[in-house]
Structure 1
Amino acid sequence: MKKIIYSDEAPKPLGVYSQGTVGGGLIFVSGQLPVDPKTSKFIEQDIKKQTRQVFKNIEKILEAKGAGFKDILKISAFLLNINDFKGMNEIFQEFFPVEPPARTTSTVKVFPP
């Protein structure tokens, strides 16, 4: 049975979706943008700050179900500019210094407003 995850400490969804769901022993976290949940403002320009905020948001959603980064099996990362890959990767290394999850990184043209 599916259960919805909600955390007041993560940004509210921008559309019709849940922050996360649980089912079949797995936790699924919806895509997170670099939004500060306290101000609801998008963090601009700095990919390292943006990546760090995304991971903080993911952390709060996982914590709502008693999970953490050690439980992540796969991450799909989306960048507007492939030149940001190095900076994003540096922050990724901070959060996953050993045994990182599987990851796919793609570039996209736009993110939702």
Structure 2
Amino acid sequence: MSTVINTTNAPAPIGPYSQAVLAGNLLFVSGQIAFHPQTGELQLQSIDAETRQVMDNVKAILTEAGLDLSAVVKTSIFLKDMGNFAEVNEIYGSYFTSNFPARETIQVAALPKNVNVEISVIAYKA
């Protein structure tokens, strides 16, 4: 059995998917891009601003599920340009303080809405 998780504090899906799905004790959060949830505008002023908005969207979905970033066990980061890795890594790292999740970072040819970064996570609900 699974439960769909949705919140107005993160952007609405732009396709046929849910913001997150809780299956057993695992929460699968769909890839987030830098849409501001209240304005619907992409936050593309800088890679820093873009990454912060993505991480804030992830946090909002986790919060709706009763979790926080400490519950994240796995992340996937998709970058349009691996040249942005250091900046994205610095912002991403500021959201985690200990017990860092497993992660991969992958350069891709393109991302939805021509953004520069997309991040998905898997969290464990004890």
Q: 2:13 corresponds to which letter in structure 1?
A: P
Gaps of at least 5 residues in structure 1 are none
Q: Report the count of equivalent residues.
A: 113
Identity, in percent, stands at: 38
Distance 1:93 1:58 in 2: 14
Higher RCO, Cα 8 Å, sep 6+: 2
SS of 2:112's equivalent in the other structure is: coil
**45-54 or 27-36, which deviates more:** 45-54
Q: Which amino acid aligns with 2:26?
A: L
- Cα deviation code 1:47-97 (max 9, x no counterpart): 111111111001110111110100000000001110100000101111113
The aligned counterpart of 1:60 is 60
* 1:28-107 equivalences in 2 (<5 Å): 28-107=28-107
Following TM superposition, by how much is the alpha carbon of 1:38 offset from its aligned partner in structure 2, in angstroms? 1.1
Partner SS, residue 32 of structure 2:
coil
TM-score, with structure 2 as normaliser: 0.86
What CA distance in whole angstroms lies between the structure 2 residues aligned with 1:42 and 1:109? 19
Q: What SS is found at the alignment partner of 1:35?
A: coil
Determine the C-alpha separation between the residues in 2 that align with 1:16 and 1:111. Answer: 16
**Which secondary structure state, in structure 2, belongs to the residue aligned with residue 22 of structure 1?**
strand
Equivalent AA in structure 2 for residue 62 of structure 1: L
Stretch deviating more after TM superposition (95-104 or 10-19): 95-104
Report the counterpart of residue 108 of structure 2 in structure 1.
108
Q: Deviations over 1:31-59 (max 9, x none)?
A: 00011111111111411111111110011
How far apart in 2 are the matches of 1:51 and 1:8? 19
Task: Give the number of the structure whose residues are more often strand, by fraction.
Answer: 2
The TM-score with structure 1 as length reference comes to 0.96
Superposition CA RMSD, Å? 0.9
